[in-house]
Amino acid sequence: MTTPRVHIATDHAGMELSAHLVSHLTAKGYDVVDHGPKVYDALDDYPSFCINAAAAVVADQGAGVHALGIVLGGSGNGEQIAANKVKGVRAALAWNLSTAKLAREHNDANVVAVGGRQHTVEEATQLIEAFLEEPFSNDERHVRRIGKIATYENTGEIVA
């Protein structure tokens, strides 16, 4: 598997972690695209940053580029919700190594959310690396379930 392009966004609470990850992942050979913010603002509105990063992941994937996304905040909850509003995104909140890996292995998540105030920089880096390195299993049951989610997303039809 090729190294994915990584789209990253944050709110003010994740800026330190974001800066670390941009530097760390770039040094590891990832093509990292930073969607901001560029300047600390304690009153920033994170949805635009996270939606832009998520939309870039979907656009890259649609163009055949292997891409994944990272959205960061104090808890990661709001950022995950914002990213999940983008059609084609499956954003998962990771809080330990198991959830980070299972997000990719079982759900083929294309965006990971992490709470910068919930983990040390080292712990968060481990979660992000686990997510980026874990392949999707392609197990039939997971493909089927993801297909049902996509059908609902695209048509509003709930498939039993």
Mind telling me the catalytic residues? 79, 106
Helix extents (H) in 85-120: 97-105
- Distance linking the first and last C-alpha atoms of the chain: 33
Pairing state between β 111-115 and 91-93: parallel
Tokens of 148: 């049902």
124: Cβ contacts below 8 Å, ≥ 6 apart: 17, 21, 72, 114, 116
Distance CA 147, CA 127 (A): 26
Partnered with residue 71 across adjacent β-strands are 9, 113
The structure tokens 């979660």 sit at 127
Helices (H), 28-139: 47-62, 77-84, 97-105, 121-133
